[in-house]
Amino acid sequence: MSGTHGNTSNAKSRRSAAVPGTTPLRALDAQQLDVLRGVGREWRRVSAGPDVWRRALPVDPDLGALPTPAQITPARFGRVVPVAPFGPTVLGTSQPRPAPARPAEEGPPATVDRPRGLYRVRRLLLGPALASTAIARERMRKLVALPVLSADALSSVAYGPEAMLAVLVLAGTAGIGYSIPIAATIVFLMLAIGLSYRQTIRAYPHGGGSYIVASDNLGRVPGLVAAAGLMTDYILTVAVSIAAGVAAITSALPSLAASSVLIGVAAIAVLLACNLRGIRQAGAIFAAPTYAFVIAMVALVAVGLADAGGRGFDPVPHPPVNATEGLGILLVMRAFASGATAMTGIEAISNAVPAFKPVEWRNARTTLTWMIGLLVTLFSGIIALVHFDGILPRSGETVLSQLAHSNYGSGPIYVYTQAATAAVLLLAANTAFNDFPRVLSLLARDDHAPRLFARMGDRLAFSNGIILLSVAAGLVYVAFDGRTASLIPLYAVGVFLAFSLSQAGMVVHWWRLRDRHWRKSLVFNATGGVLSAIVLITAGITKFTEGAWVALVAVALFLFATTRIRRHYDTVAAALRLQLHAIEIPRRTIAPRVPAPAEGVEGSPDLPGSADSSHPSHPSESADSTDGREVRDPEAFRAAGDEAGDEAGKSEETEEVPEEVRHLSLVPIETLDRAGMRALAYAASLEQPVLVVHVSTGVREAETFREHWRLWGDHLPLQELVSPYRAVIAPLVNYIEALHHQRPDLTLTVILPEVVMRQRRYSALHGRTAPRLRRALRPLRKIVVTSVPFHV
């Protein structure tokens, strides 16, 4: 493992250069850059100069009107790269640009209808595609950030106290007596971990999720373990929040109790649909439920305590309960571990520091303090109220509902309380829909998860991760019959695993950094870490048979899968690294052969009469070779095509004699790795005019690629396409179609580099760009598709 690890550039540099939601072009390391330069030198010895190849091009690669990257305004409607439109096949470009006159007899290829139909259905369901630049970058005020980021944590009080009581009640009245001291311990824990995360916010102003903190400070495996904890946490957040939310509803409407599982599944489906459309967690809609819930809870606690005060704080005796288990240390610990689930979601603010208005870390810390204050208030208030009102957990009605009933009766205030509870729980579940795919995309970007999780869909959501979360949460929810009590034992393990590793990472961080306040911060983080670890161990031991083993197995499987995936990607990356073999004696110069212009073609560009004429030795790279291309009128190409096409029947596929075939090879290339280089070599060796096409998902990626390309030597004509909607296939197909319309007499050979896995089980880990492109090109006329495989 360690041997191949060095081959791939480090995680940080990968992350930084990326357009959000794309698999970025990996920067090459120094050794690879050297090899690239070396390969370029070999090319120079055998290939005719770039100018020769460029002059041989029978088409205008710019299509006469390709916009520069700066010109591409992020249009809200429309998906394809805005290449020069050539009829209705360009799906709704928003920029009105003068369309070149198009011969009427060339109707749009009938086959384009099918994808358009599917495309329409998709747009109807998901809304129009969003450009990468449309990513929400708005900063949140503290009063907005508080409800948005604390929904998960605050909503936990809807099930945490109940989970604790449900364990204690097993030991009868004596057990219930322990609720106050255990709750006090949990409050202490909340404060300690809150303090702990205040340190994290200061140290990671760019967002310090457990995965990042643990892998930065403790190494790869602890980082993965933290991620495993996080992922199970998010899945269970959805399942538990939905279960508790449905319980809040069925408490108010007992007639719905029978179909509670169905309601929960429907709620997950709604969350899935909304998140595929790309709902962002911002704005008043998301602030409302949390504030409503806080108001409801504060009111409940105030009314209840006032009531109790009226009785002289004399607790109502709870109904007698029979002890079914002895009161032992194990039971108390179990109750503690269950009650600690009230703390889940406490880490949310430290992940989202960059979303605050400046000074970010200071605002985040203030918000965290507020949140901890609210959390402690609500938690201890509810515990106190339960104590004074003599409430016991029972099936069919939640503790919160019982409290509301006993204080308000069944009037509108009760209904409001239940509705607010359900709403905040739904919002908490939605938080996981934001976080799970994000963590998964970080893993994917570090090669620990299949790359498809790193790609954003055209609605700027990590669609694949969202789907995975929905399926996983749905399965867990259904498997445990939608009962909160059954899900709680699984929950604590993942959460506190991530907490512990994150805090441990922070301890290492402070030890290494030793800045001004390092001692204080280290102590706080160490305390938080130790306490989290205690909860983790407690939960793992006391609830092992109740379900914690499921979470532990899930973490182990996750760890196994992610390391295997990383190893596979490393192997592939190593196999694709360029290597240098010198050619001893170049036999002859590889140059494009261009047919002599047919008599009668006038106004055709200055194509060289014969490429077999000996070329001057390769000029050294000069500004001229990259930028000095003469601007040519695309209509000239069209004219040449029309003229030449007269005898070959234009885009009719009638070439039955070799003389009638006029070639242009197109090489769509992703990176200059061995597979790509092999395709380039194959294309050049055919000695037909070659045009290399690269689709970038952003201007920076385009720059990186062009840098590599120049380093290699710019031996072949290159056309860069920038796809503002992250799609690769659609812009390529549109570009190829545009070329075809420019010169319908040409046979375009699309030469696809294709990495073929020897073991088919790994093929899911790799993009299916080549087969997808082949399928998209299949219905087009006079497009020959060639796969150049590279076997790994």
Q: HSE (CB half, 13 Å, CA atoms) of 247?
A: 25
Q: Cβ(349)–Cβ(558) under 8 Å?
A: no
To the nearest whole angstrom, how small is the minimum distance from the Cβ of residue 579 to a second copy? 7
Site for a second copy (CB under 8 A): how many residues? Answer: 68
- The answer to whether residue 46 forms part of the interface with a second copy (CB under 8 A) is yes
d(CA 437, CA 462): 6
Stretch that binds a second copy, among 73-81, 298-306, 504-512, 671-679 (CB under 8 A): 671-679
**Which residue, 71 or 613, has its beta carbon nearer to a second copy?**
613
Q: How far apart are CA 89 and CA 87, in angstroms?
A: 5
| Shortest distance (Å) from residue 693 CB to a second copy | 18
DSSP letter at 85 equals P
Among 184, 270, 583, 764, binds a second copy (CB under 8 A): 583
Site string for a second copy, 221-260 (x = CB under 8 A): ----------------------------------------
Spatial distance between the Cα atoms of 189 and 528, rounded to a whole number of angstroms: 8
774: contact with a second copy by CB under 8 A: yes
State the Cα–Cα distance between residues 126 and 132, nearest whole angstrom.
16
Tokens 């301890």 belong to 507
739 binds a second copy (CB under 8 A): no
Please provide residue 662's backbone torsions phi and psi, each rounded to the nearest 5 degrees. Answer: -115, 125
Closest distance of CB 586 from a second copy, Å: 6
Distance CA 349, CA 347 (A): 6
Considering the complex, what minimum distance in angstroms separates the CB of residue 789 from a second copy? Answer: 7
Q: Is 658 in the site for a second copy (CB under 8 A)?
A: yes
For 52, 591, 592, 624, 630, the CA distances from 613, given in Å and listed in that order, are 11, 10, 11, 22, 22
Is position 490 an interface residue for a second copy (rule: CB under 8 A)? no
Contacts with a second copy, 130-169, as mask; x by CB under 8 A = ----------------------------------------
Q: Binder to a second copy among 206, 514, 760, 761 (CB under 8 A)?
A: 760
- Minimum CB separation of residue 704 from a second copy in Å reads 20
SS3 for 738-791, per residue?
HHHHHCCCEEEEEEEEEEECCCHHHHHHCCCHHHHHHHHHCCCCCEEEEEEEEE
Does 756 interact with a second copy (rule: CB under 8 A)? yes
Closest CA to 238 of 1, 494, 420, 451: 494
Q: Does residue 354 interact with a second copy by CB under 8 A? A: no
| CA–CA gap between residue 647 and residue 744 (Å, rounded) | 12
Which candidate, 601, 611, 595, places its Cα nearest to that of 51? 611
| 109 vs 605, beta carbon nearer a second copy | 109
Site map 616..655 versus a second copy, x via CB under 8 A = -------------------------------xxx---xxx
**Residue 771: both structure tokens together:** 């087969």
Q: Which residues pair with 72 in a beta bridge?
A: none
Q: Which stretch binds a second copy (CB under 8 A): 143-151, 209-217, 226-234, 680-688?
A: 680-688
Greatest CA separation for the chain: 110
Q: Does the protein bind a second copy through residue 688 (CB under 8 A)?
A: yes
Question: Do residues 789 and 762 make contact, with C-beta atoms less than 8 angstroms apart?
Answer: no
- Binding residue for a second copy, selected from 674, 694, 708, 743, defined by CB under 8 A: 674
Owner of token pair 């029309």: 642
Choose the binding region for a second copy from 154-162, 342-350, 464-472, 683-691 (rule: CB under 8 A): 683-691
Which of 119/518 has CB closer to a second copy? 119
* Interface positions with a second copy (CB under 8 A): 39, 42-43, 45-47, 110-111, 114, 578-579, 581, 583-588, 590, 593, 595-596, 598-599, 612, 647-649, 653-661, 663, 674, 677-678, 680-688, 747, 749, 756, 758, 760, 774, 778-779, 781, 783-791
